[in-house]
Amino acid sequence: MNSAEGAGRTVEEAIRNALRVLGARREDVDLMVLDEGSRGVLGLGSREARVRLTLLSAIEAGEAEEAAAPPQQLETGEDPVAVARRVTASIVDTMGMGASVTAREEDGGVHVTVSGPQLAPLIGRHGQTLEALDLLVNLMTARQLGRRVPVAVDAERYRERRRDALEALTRRIAGRVRRNGRPASLDPMPASERRFIHTLLADDPQLTTFSEGEGIERHIVIAPKGNGPEGRAAAPRQPARAHAGERAGRTADRPEPPAGEESDAMDADEDAEEAIDR
């Protein structure tokens, strides 16, 4: 079972009920609010909140596992590291990138690194081309092996740098939400990156995370606990790009904000720092 629906008096209760059905943890699922529910008037017209939870692993894999490893296909016994490297090198050469490809075993799967002088076209806007390459390599490697082996393809440490930037942004926005008590939305991102952020804040005693939107507009919302999906209307989208480092050296001559405005001034200051290197 990759998804389940839950109902309850509140959205949070519905989430807990659906998690029990899936047997999953909060950081392992993607949330869609189907109905926020209503208390009605004097008990009339009330209805339960309803949510649908989907395992993030199922979203990431899609139908790749079934397509890549049909039941009638036999395992070949080839080395997964060698196969993944060969498949990636073949695709990169066909693209005319002139890059070198190395691979190693890592965490029960294969990590492939592509190195070269001009890999921006291979990474693509916001890493979209790299995501497509990753999926293609996983499919082709699984077909050649006769079984699915997780393969992660990176180019010039893009994924590592991207995760560092995501973590820095997430912690800044989380601090802001704790301070002002208002939900905040991040920009749309792939399921693997949403899962990374869910995991980062999974144990936070003050905050909760959930996803909104459909398709390429799917994005994370960080909110105070008790102000979950039902508070999404007040969640401003955080900018995808800004000029990181602008804050350095510009505070010396700035006057102190009037009493009561310090939090807003800090929020405005942080807006310039929320840069993610797409």
CATH of 64-156 among 3.30.1240.10, 3.40.50.720, 3.30.300.20, 3.40.50.920: 3.30.300.20
Amino acid 96: pLDDT: 85
Tokens coding 98? 């002139």
Q: Do 102 and 112 contact (CB within 8 A), yes or no?
A: yes
Read off the DSSP letter of residue 232: G
Tokens coding 230? 């039902």
Q: Flag whether pLDDT at 178 surpasses 70.
A: yes
Tell me how crowded residue 67 is: count the other CB atoms within 10 A of its CB.
11
Amino acid 276: pLDDT: 43
Which is nearest to 166 in space by CA: 216, 222, 235?
222
List the beta bridge partners of residue 224. 207
Mean pLDDT of the chain: 75
Is there a shared CATH topology between the 64-156 domain and the 157-278 domain? no
Among 16-20, 37-41, 166-170, whose mean pLDDT is lowest? Answer: 37-41
Does 83 or 127 have the greater pLDDT score?
83
Question: pLDDT tens digits, residue range 241-251?
Answer: 333 333 333 33
Q: Flag whether pLDDT at 277 surpasses 80.
A: no
Domain ranges of the chain: 1-59, 64-156, 157-278
Q: Transcribe 65-106 into DSSP letters.
A: HHHHS-TTPPP----HHHHHHHHHHHHHHHTT---EEEEEEE
Tokens coding 156? 């010039």
**Domain covering 157-278 in this structure, CATH number:** 3.30.1370.50
Q: Transcribe 241-259 into DSSP letters.
A: ---TTTTTT-STTPPPPPT
d(CA 113, CA 59): 24
The pTM of the whole model exceeds 0.75: no
Q: Do 220 and 232 contact (CB within 8 A), yes or no?
A: no
Read off the DSSP letter of residue 165: H
Q: Transcribe 129-142 into DSSP letters.
A: HHHHHHHHHHHHHH
CA geometry: angle 245, 247, 249, nearest 5 deg:
100
> In what side-by-side order are the strands of the sheet with 109-115?
100-106, 109-115, 151-155
Question: pLDDT tens digits, residue range 220-229?
Answer: 999 998 765 5
